[in-house]
Structure 1
Amino acid sequence: MLRASIDIGSNTILLLVCRQRDHAWEEILNESEVTALGLDVDKNQKFHPQSVEDSFNALRKYHRLVTGFSMKPEEVIVTATEASRVATDSPAFFKKVKEELGFNIQIINAKGEAYYTAFGVCSSTELPETITVMDIGGASTELINVTTSPFAVRETISLPAGSVRCTEWLKQGQFESKMQTLFESFDFSIYKTEHLICVAGSMTTLGAMIKGLKTFNAQDVDRSIISLEAFKKFISKLEKQNTDQLSQDYPVLGKRAKTIKAGALLGLSVGEKLGVKSFEISTKGLRYGTLFSGGINNEFKQL
């Protein structure tokens, strides 16, 4: 049996296709397209026209891929997250996608985003009994405190800060003040940990960069460990480079070259707030959680 999931995030749109064999899921296709759907959403409360075009083109590509496996578009589990929760024109865009491509897009709430992200991580490997997961997206960052066996989300918070949002804050000279306001607005005590599990594009890409990879290879990045001190030294190096230099020195970045500094600084800021000594990179996350679950529970659907 084949099953597919699509994660429409605030910076990337991701496709995962798996085949079930002997009660386990075998990954057969994993695609990523950077479309920056969350660009300027805070300012305009609407999607940027270029981001809409790029996102539709990515979904059209994914339509071609899934139908190539003889799968029906309406059977694909498609979720959308923070940027789609904020943008007032997301219903109109998703209606167009439904009519022209057949994908049924479900906007999920922050609680659902946290649940399926953590479930994807915990379903893929053995982990300690209690962990904290950090998911840096384009427009939000989820912190999720989890018991792994049996799986349960104990607590979660959604910080309105992601790699795309923070890129704008850096341009405006507001990053430090915005982060300070966030840190004063939430109770982080339950999330404090010396070892933080990190998912999603910014941290997985940074993991690949630190390893010196020219192209992204999930097997090389998954479960890699980065000390906080090594992470800080790497960020200091990044801060001295502009976007063109980053693209040249780190071809693995692709379109993420525009947002990687902000994603890195965000990860460092949260890590220091939590008392982290090391980061563990996981290439699993939301699309794995929804695929393994087989659908979206009603309690996680945005009304």
Structure 2
Amino acid sequence: MHRHELTDLEWELPAPLIPSAATGRPRVADRQVINGMVYKIRTGVSWRDLPERYGPWKTVYTRFRRYALDRVFTRALQQVQTSADAVGDIDWPVQIDSTIVRAHQHAADTGRKGGSTGREPDDHALGRSRGGLTTKIHLACDSRGRPLAILLTPGQRHDSVCARPLLERIRVPRTGPGRPRCRPDQVIADKAYSSRGFRAYLRRRGIALTIPEKTDQKHHRRNRGRRGGRPPAFDRQAYRQRNVVERCFNRLKGFHGIATRYEKTATSYEAAVTLASFLLWARSV
């Protein structure tokens, strides 16, 4: 086994979910191809520069694109989350945050003038900010720093706008009957998520929140006197756990193909982030 390749235990988790071809020529082994994908996102090399031991680079890329569209890596991530939740390995205080990723010049040539195609958004989750073309990764993780949900947006999109769609992406299926687990017990976030609308949304869902209040919000509330209401509850001890999501981002950006976006389409880049998230889970269970 070479560096950056899946161990036997890590391969056992996604192996049953890999689509198999019933007819046609004998193809490159699935594990060999998946190892090529992992090597690519771990090192950030071009598809054409993949080592020959992983087979033809076009084969690896074609299957990666097919698995991205079929959401194979998403199902693999949900499967390992389901197994962890069944044994009580997931704590449901959830931390949310975002990070900005610079897009490489090769990712900018997306042909966006033609509009959206299929599942791809018009902007391919690429936005222009001070750093140039960027993508923002919104992340929800558990108390051990393992990703529960991922959302990609253009880099200039504000965090508070994406908080609700991000939480609605949390979906951990059950091993037996019953609906998937979608509601965390608590949400821990920084001041960027301190909006009245988001606080009201969490209260409606019965989710405890630990979000500091912005300075201007404090002034507005105090200026209104009694009409301003009471200050929102804030647990300083629980807020100290927010560094967990920052450490999760650090581990994800240990994959060079995640720290810099090389993929042209949002679907492919999200699949790469999901595959990296799956590896974080597989190495923690």
TM-score (norm 1): 0.25
Q: Which has the higher contact order (CA 8 A, sep 6+)?
A: 2
Pair member with larger Rg: 2
TM-score (norm 2): 0.26
**Which structure has the highest strand share of the two?**
1
